[in-house]
Structure 1
Amino acid sequence: MNKFAMMITALLTFVGSSAIAQDTIVLPGEVRTYVLEQNTPSVQYEGEIVVGQPVPDVVEVYPIPDQPDFAYAVVNEKRVIVNPRTKTVVQVLE
């Protein structure tokens, strides 16, 4: 393999792994535990809840104590972790 091909391969590997790392959010264990333990009513929504997209305005978002970077909602019986500032879905808990 020539040097040019090796450089392109290395660059594509780096760019690909960087993109994957940006999509992965590691939740602190206490965030997941807290959200799963809450008895919060579910909002019914006909659309799809998608990671990376904001939840609809009809969905109430609840803060998580001592975790200012995370909030949650319950939509269609699924617990959803969101960014409280943007209401963007970070993770859907199954």
Structure 2
Amino acid sequence: MNERFSASGLMNPFFPDEVTFGEKGVTFKVSKLFKSTDNFVFYSDISGVEVDSGMFFSTVRIIPRMRPEIIINNFTKGDAKKVKELILQKVQS
């Protein structure tokens, strides 16, 4: 599968957040100025996905079981919707 989505470069051109889909789970890369955090979550460990849409960009909120939620920012509305659909497809299968 190995699909990858990157956040918009308009809001954070040097350090965009990323979502990478693998065979067994999803990797979420949340970048900051001097560090980044990679979180890998198995599809079976995801209990929910929420998308908060603003006027131009969306925030995707992943709710894993037994871990704090993962928030990735500044995705286009289309990419955020696709990320949610792909995760829910994998979680349900």
Q: Which has the higher strand share?
A: 2
Q: Which has the higher helix share?
A: 1
TM-score, reference length from structure 1: 0.29
The structure having more radius of gyration, on CA atoms, is 1
